[in-house]
Structure 1
């Protein structure tokens, strides 16, 4: 397996000061709330297959290309977590579907996301709104 490669996704705001505020997982959806240079952003990943959160120091092989200096939201095209999981005989999702891998980079954590969706939904909002719970699509507890 080679070094991870990917492409930074176009987003409205870039910055080196990216902090994870919180994660919310429910019903095959993941909402990631970030503070980016004082602006808040919510990413929603639907059709989720899995996610992992690791300290940025545990992903040193990513930093040649997938680092905050180039962006904070990437689609990983090769050499990432999906490729690692696909080597396992028990990882059946790659044989039945065409999963995509995204990487969210913050100052301290990295969130790898495996999904069947084309890309995450990106919503910029007031930071005070992010602190409050907002349900994921299909969240039955919100009714």
Structure 2
């Protein structure tokens, strides 16, 4: 419950999402985002809100972090297309986060595919994009069968 007479804004929701994300509470951050995505709300999520949730999953350390991030990026894309708001499509931050989490989880080939998709979507990669790929390959352990993800 809020304070009588005060109505939360999209900035309020974004701040709460980001706070949960910074504390590693990805599910709670996603729950707040889902509240913004409901059709009955006047406020709508921002690309920052989506990216905060994706980053929370990426930083969670969970084994399924890459899958959770991919799921959220798919939801982001679907929501952007459904709401006809191209500003909500994945941006350079979204792609860089996804590349980084895939690389850190030894899914380097998938990270490369994300980079290729980024370029195909006319989003200009940054130094971070390429550095994440190089870092992932430098730490890649090809002795483990489960690392083969092409």
TM-score > 0.5 by shorter chain = no
- Pick 1 or 2: higher relative contact order, CA cutoff 8 A, min separation 6: 1
User: When you count strand as a share of all residues, which structure comes out higher?
Assistant: 1
Question: Normalised by the size of structure 2, how large is the TM-score?
Answer: 0.22
User: When you count helix as a share of all residues, which structure comes out higher?
Assistant: 2
Question: Normalised by the size of structure 1, how large is the TM-score?
Answer: 0.23
Report the structure number with the largest CA radius of gyration: 2
